[in-house]
Chains A and B, each alone.
Chain A
Amino acid sequence: DSGVTQTPKHLITATGQRVTLRCSPRSGDLSVYWYQQSLDQGLQFLIQYYNGEERAKGNILERFSAQQFPDLHSELNLSSLELGDSALYFCASSVNGESTQYFGPGTRLLVL
């Protein structure tokens, strides 16, 4: 158990819908990262927050957004969902950028 929690574990929805994925980092970790894992793209970095502020952006679509709240939990919002958004979405946390990133169990999203 990494100490990072993610909900829900599984999500099935339809094209055009909007979903919210939630992540709670390990106690004391200020950085939260979101990654997407799909068969064709592999593991891709989406976005990072540090202590409530956006720190880095990766291959995140405009239809996707995220935020980190004062209690440090983070949410990833995916809207206007398409079939190709079906993937495993991971959250990771770390103390700082040079330390180990610990991953949550992931949310498996299936868009039908």
Chain B
Amino acid sequence: SQQGEEDPQALSIQEGENATMNCSYKTSINNLQWYRQNSGRGLVHLILIRSNEREKHSGRLRVTLDTSKKSSSLLITASRAADTASYFCATVTQGGSEKLVFGKGTKLTVNP
């Protein structure tokens, strides 16, 4: 079963603009991870945020986590055409197994 729900399902922007993707989940978590997948290829890990963290940065990426609302957001600043991909959030449930529970993803298109 899928826990995370990404919003929007698809997003199309121009190069240089910022892209924001949201993720909601249902259970208490240990951590939340964001992944990128280029068309039908492997999943690339972007960032992990733990349940006791509120914000994390990595290069042009900024992730926030609000455990009271069970939601997270991924912001990509100054987007590039190479950022075109699907982005997934995945959670590790607190007290559960160590598996990742994925959302359905946001398909981001960055137009040059």
Contact = CB atoms under 8 A, between A and B. Distances in A.
A binds B: yes
A45 interface: yes
Determine chain B's interface SS by DSSP, over half rule: strand
A97 B100 CA distance: 10
A87 to B, nearest CB: 11
Interface residues of B, number: 24
Contact of B102 (A2, A43, A56, A102): A43
Contacts of B68: none
A101 interface: yes
Contact of B100 (A96, A101, A105): A101
A96 B98 CA distance: 8
Interface of B: 2, 30-31, 33, 35, 40-45, 48, 88, 90, 92, 97-105
Interface of A: 2, 31, 33, 35, 42-45, 48, 55-56, 58, 88, 90, 92, 94, 96-106, 108
